[in-house]
Amino acid sequence: MARVPSSVIAASGLVGGYGVARWTKQRPLGGAVLAVAGAAAAQQWRQRAGGKAAGALSAAYLAAFAGSHPLAKKVGAWPSVLGVAGAVALASWAVADRRD
């Protein structure tokens, strides 16, 4: 079975969490998507790059989520979410997925 890269999981968690929250109008449901994807990505980060890298990438994932809110006021919701998701995906690839 093919393994999904952690960069894809993390970006999908940010985009999917926002999309689910927006389309269902249930913010907790979007938060659940965000949390499950974040936990799955963190597990892969820990396995591939170690605990310190996993901690740093997890912090980046949470900072991206938090930072997307004020950024959305300047550029719009979707551009903000896509931008932070791309940034987290790039960081994840550089730290954990590039080796594969």
pLDDT, residue 40, reads 97
Q: Is the pTM of this model over 0.85?
A: yes
pLDDT, tens only, 16-66 = 999 999 999 999 999 999 999 999 999 999 999 999 999 999 999 999 999
Q: In the chain, count of helices (H) and strands (E)? A: 4, 0
pLDDT, residue 99, reads 79
Residues near 5 by beta carbon (within 8 Å), at least 6 away in sequence: 92, 93, 97, 100
Q: What's the chain's average pLDDT?
A: 96
pLDDT, residue 11, reads 98
